[in-house]
Amino acid sequence: MPAQKLAFGPFVLDAASGALTRHGAPVPVSYRGLLLLVAFLKRPGDDLSKSELMEAAWPGLAVEESNLSVQIASLRKLLGERPGGGEWVATAPRFGYRFAGAVEPVAERALDEPEEAAPSIAVLPFENLSEDVAQQHFADGLAEDIIMRLSRLRWLFVSARNSSFTFRGKARDAREIGRALGVRYVLNGSVRRSDKRLRIAAQLSDAATGRQVWAERYDAELADFFALQDEIAGSVIGAIEPQLYAAEHQRAQTRRPESLDAWGYVMRAMPYVWTWLSAKDIATAQDLLRRALEIRPDHPRALSLLAWSHAAAYQLGWSRETIEKARVLARKAIQADPDDPWPHFAAGYANAVSRRFDEAVAELTEATDLNPSFAFAHMIFGCAYGYGGMPDDGLHHLAIASRLRPRDFTRSAHLSTCGLCHFVAGRFGQAADYERRAVELHPDFSTAWRTYAASAGMAGRKEEAARALKEARRLQPSLSVAWVENFHPIVKPSDRAVYIEGLRAAGLE
């Protein structure tokens, strides 16, 4: 890869880190798309043959030409049109493709006046001003839904929910939050609910100056709540970008839940979903989600999260029967709302942990196309590629997830997935170090203990391996060589054999 940063239009490619940005905001490009882009930027204006490009993106691998077409189409969609019109990647008829734009080193470009950064925002948890503390889920739900709606806009970088929610209850200056999360704007507010009446206040601040650029107060009946969410999200967009983008928001709106009570149960379940690593949390989340589905059986988010919880129980080794439930629920969620990224995310996760690699990649691609700021989906992309024997692709998506969410509640899962990718790549010592950090953050994370034992076993760290195996068996009594062979998500038999070898070195019989 080039040993420098290269700029084209509003984009900058950092070859060292594999990061692509647009006006300074992260652009979630796939690993194979990144390799193709590097090949193009090395030789802008030259016609590159299909065989050259396939060797650049899949070195040493035999893949069908259709894979190249898919990646080129995805890259074109990601980059959009060049300034002045036309595609960045042009077709060279009957030969291949060429990069049609001008490319320059960032060092030269830095002499010019720097361009303004792309719009980016963090939505903080709304403060609950009601006397009933149980209404906090209601305030969280408002922020959650605004994040989801704003994230559907490809031009807007939205800090992940798990990152922005780490500031709950903390009196922080907008400038400090902006620096911590790497955003230009910070949205915060409050909710007061009294019986059937709502009072919502929202403020948008410029994170560079701390200056308030927009504020509004809303009083309404509870029945108008979803219209209020649209109005708040639309007002924010109108405050930070031209009205053209407000129109884009209208086209990107998701289907509204018809019942506030069902939506409320989903929001109550969310904290337990984000910390899904314990059986108790999963059971609590499932109970709340089933209540939501009793009220509205086709609620897409409730179906998606319930599917996720069943797939997690399967991955963690607690149940062998739940994976089919997960796939059925995910399909039902997609049927209920195919334009919502969450059902595709849930389907991708369920397929990833049940060795359905191609289906997992297809669904996760759909999820990240629908919501480019969906950091959690990029983390599961890392998981899918790790299990699928493509660890470099997995680590690439994990790096995207880290850039999208610099502060996160799911750090333990992220570290463990990094460990898995390093294990599959044969870097057993690094894998063990990642898994050790994961279990230090979450001592009841059975998947991390399991991979820790296998990694330490392969690295020859016998005492660590034995201790990790003991913890893994405490959390997953069914753990055995037969379980790994039949149910572990690793796809390739050769990779599974190494995993089993590591567990045997740790003491598994």
Average pLDDT for 299-327: 89
pLDDT at 277: 67
> Which two structure tokens, joined as six digits, stand for 96?
């291949």
Claim to verify: residue 281 and residue 344 sit in the same structural domain:
yes
What is the domain range of residue 474?
373-509
Query: CA-to-CA distance for 115 and 324, rounded, in angstroms?
Result: 50
Residue 107's pLDDT band (boundaries 50, 70, 90)? low
pLDDT at 244: 32
CATH of the domain at 22: 1.10.10.10
Which range among 103-107, 300-304, 355-359 shows the weakest confidence by mean pLDDT?
103-107
pLDDT at 228: 67
Average pLDDT for 460-470: 96
Claim to verify: residue 145 and residue 225 sit in the same structural domain:
yes
Asked whether the beta carbons of 284 and 157 are under 8 A apart, the reply is no
- Look at 347 and 133; give whichever has higher pLDDT: 347
Is residue 19 situated within a structural domain? yes
Sign, Cα dihedral of 81, 84, 88, 93:
positive
Dihedrals phi, psi of 380, to nearest 5 degrees = -70, -30
pLDDT at 129: 85
Average pLDDT for 260-282: 76
- Look at 198 and 390; give whichever has higher pLDDT: 390
Claim to verify: residue 410 and residue 501 sit in the same structural domain:
yes
Residue 112's pLDDT band (boundaries 50, 70, 90)? very low
> DSSP 3-state helix, strand, coil percentages of the chain (rounded to 5)?
60, 15, 30
Domain count, the chain: 4
- Look at 277 and 95; give whichever has higher pLDDT: 95
Asked whether the beta carbons of 89 and 72 are under 8 A apart, the reply is yes
User: Locate tokens 């990144």: which residue?
Assistant: 34
pLDDT at 276: 65
Average pLDDT for 180-198: 82
CATH of the domain at 358: 1.25.40.10
| pLDDT above 90 as % of the chain | 40
pLDDT at 229: 65
Query: CA-to-CA distance for 274 and 282, rounded, in angstroms?
Result: 10
Average pLDDT for 133-149: 75
Query: CA-to-CA distance for 61 and 84, rounded, in angstroms?
Result: 38
pLDDT at 482: 94
Query: CA-to-CA distance for 12 and 441, rounded, in angstroms?
Result: 35
Question: Tens digits of per-residue pLDDT, 398-416?
Answer: 988 887 765 555 788 899 9
Claim to verify: residue 270 and residue 156 sit in the same structural domain:
no
- Look at 174 and 130; give whichever has higher pLDDT: 174
In this predicted structure, the answer to whether residue 455 has a pLDDT above a threshold of 90 is yes
Asked whether the beta carbons of 409 and 166 are under 8 A apart, the reply is yes
Is residue 167 situated within a structural domain? yes
| Residue 30 burial (10 A CB sphere; 0-12, 13-18, 19+) | buried
Pick from 323, 374, 320, 385: nearest CA to 344: 374
Claim to verify: residue 162 and residue 87 sit in the same structural domain:
no
Claim to verify: residue 411 and residue 462 sit in the same structural domain:
yes
Q: Which amino acid is at 291?
A: R
Average pLDDT for 297-301: 91
Residue 188's pLDDT band (boundaries 50, 70, 90)? confident
To 5 degrees, how large is the angle CA 61–CA 29–CA 314?
A: 75
Claim to verify: residue 378 and residue 499 sit in the same structural domain:
yes
Question: Tens digits of per-residue pLDDT, 419-431?
Answer: 999 999 999 999 9
In this predicted structure, the answer to whether residue 249 has a pLDDT above a threshold of 60 is no
Is residue 115 situated within a structural domain? no
Residue ending a domain, choose from 203, 222, 253? 253
Mean pLDDT of the chain: 83
Claim to verify: residue 503 and residue 418 sit in the same structural domain:
yes
In this predicted structure, the answer to whether residue 115 has a pLDDT above a threshold of 90 is no
pLDDT at 56: 92
**228-235 long-range CB contacts below 8 Å, 24 or more apart?**
228/198, 228/200, 229/142, 229/145, 229/146, 229/149, 230/149, 232/142, 232/146, 232/189, 232/200, 232/202, 233/146, 233/149, 233/150, 235/202
Residues 6+ apart with CB under 8 A from 440: none
Residue ending a domain, choose from 253, 282, 310? 253
Is residue 500 situated within a structural domain? yes
Query: CA-to-CA distance for 356 and 430, rounded, in angstroms?
Result: 27
Asked whether the beta carbons of 472 and 479 are under 8 A apart, the reply is yes
Residues 6+ apart with CB under 8 A from 334: 343, 344, 347
Question: Tens digits of per-residue pLDDT, 427-446?
Answer: 999 999 999 999 999 898 99
Is residue 114 situated within a structural domain? no
pLDDT at 383: 94
Average pLDDT for 38-47: 92
Length of the chain: 509
Residue ending a domain, choose from 342, 372, 402? 372
User: Beta-carbon neighbour count of residue 413 at 10 Å?
Assistant: 26
The DSSP call for residue 371 is -
Is residue 286 situated within a structural domain? yes
In this predicted structure, the answer to whether residue 76 has a pLDDT above a threshold of 80 is yes
Average pLDDT for 117-144: 77
Question: Tens digits of per-residue pLDDT, 345-399?
Answer: 999 999 999 999 999 999 999 998 887 778 888 999 999 999 999 999 999 999 8
pLDDT at 239: 56
